[in-house]
Amino acid sequence: MKKPFVTLEQLKEITKQYPTPFHIYDEKGIRENARKLKKAFSWNKGYREYFAVKATPNPFIIKILNEEGCGTDCSSLTELMLSEALGIKGHNIMFSSNATPAEEFMKAKELNAIINLDDFTHIDFLEKTAGIPETICCRYNPGGLFKISNSIMDNPGDAKYGFTKEQMIEGYKKLKSLGAKEFGIHSFLASNTVTNEYYPALAKILFELAVELKEKTGAHIKFINLSGGIGIPYKPDQPENDIMEIGEGVRKAFEEVLVPAGMGDVEIYTELGRYMLAPYGHLVATVLHEKHIYKEYIGLDACAVNLMRPAMYGAYHHITVMGKENEPNDYKYDITGSLCENNDKFAIDRMFPKIDIGDLLVIHDTGAHGFAMGYNYNGKLKSAELLLKEDGSVQLIRRGEEPKDYFATFDFCDVLKDMKY
């Protein structure tokens, strides 16, 4: 059973000031999780977590993680600007992008961020636009299927990201000739894995590649970035990952492969988003309508604008009807939003206690890839974001959008300029 980190009594007080829908984040949980991750990899002196900004691009959240020792993983100009605004610069930023515009490479170089190249052709593009830095990283794609214990985890061969092994070898040689002195390896082979085997298996692949690259190019491998991929149990009956066991598995692969090759000084980096934030965010919504036709529908004031994953991927997010946690789940509902799209549903044919108009619903695990994936289809406006602080107080960390925000880019339109909101 998933238990919300806020109570019904807390939500009743919060909604007096901040109307639903809104995303709310748990500062205490975020900090504790960041400290546990750091402990799991404390065996590696150079270890650093680069939080994936795309997961939750809110400066208040990023500041909390930065205070816990995390850098930022950025993939766009605005994410770089957000890091800069928070005082995060230099090698505390990892810039991992693809099909990258010149101005983004230039900004990353200006901030002295670690640039992670996605393609062999980007070497020439970077050299012409921003110049080759002394520390550079390349993203590896091994191709084929990625398997663990004969289970297919993902299909890297069908992914648009990364260099082939042959391109990695030639790329390192070329980068060295252009002045690069220290190198990193990056790879992302599977998403949202709920298994303690993923990171150790990935680590061994990258460690073996690092040894080969050193032997064939003479490059000094400074770090290996395991990227993201550690998932969370969205469903109540799924087991959780054990980050301590995962860290130990990576350590064993490190001792087995890198240490005998004289590469025991390699730093290990991670680039987690979902694992860092998803469990520590809720989308809170109010029941506005109930509909009785061929099925039973519950209509919320939230929609896919606030949480796209169920509509986009058919993803499961657990839902708690606040105040009714101990009542039997003997009513079958579709929980919907108000978009003009039939896939705008948070749950389909799911069993709940009886839901009434005015009930508050907590949609779990929205702390990553929740608000961040929002959009404005149907002219819907993005919600506020709140922070439940460690002392129990609540802080507004992003106001909800207003109609004036939606119309702001129509600055050529006199009719909208004069509109009152």
Query: Which residue numbers are catalytic?
Result: 340
φ/ψ of 397, rounded to 5, equals -110, -5
Rounded distance between C-alpha atoms, residue 150 and residue 162, angstroms:
24
**Chain position carrying tokens 């009594």:** 9
User: 3-state class of 211 per DSSP?
Assistant: helix
Do 375 and 305 meet the contact criterion of CB atoms below 8 Å apart? yes
DSSP reduced 3-state for 299: strand
Work out whether strand 146-148 and strand 151-154 pair parallel, antiparallel, or are unpaired: antiparallel
Please say whether the beta carbons of 112 and 87 come within 8 A: no
Number of other CB atoms surrounding residue 188 within 10 Å: 21
The CA distance from 237 to 2, in Å, is 9
Nearest to 205 by CA among 189, 223, 222: 189
- Tokens 């105040």 sit on residue: 323
- Write out the two tokens for 29: 């949980």
**Cα distance from N-terminal residue to C-terminal residue, the chain:** 43
Residue type present at position 355: I
Query: Cα Rg for the chain, rounded, in angstroms?
Result: 23
**Residue whose entry in the numeric block shows the structure tokens 């590896």:** 140
Distance CA 32, CA 49 (A): 14
Contact yes or no for 206/187 (Cβ under 8 A): yes
Calculated CA dihedral for residues 228, 26, 384, 89, nearest 10 degrees: -50
Dihedral of alpha carbons 117, 123, 129, 133, sign: positive
The Cα 333–Cα 389 span in angstroms is: 34
Taking Cα atoms as reference points, which of 346, 282, 286, 348 lies closest to residue 311?
A: 346
Taking a C-beta distance cutoff of 8 angstroms, is the pair 359, 322 a contact? yes
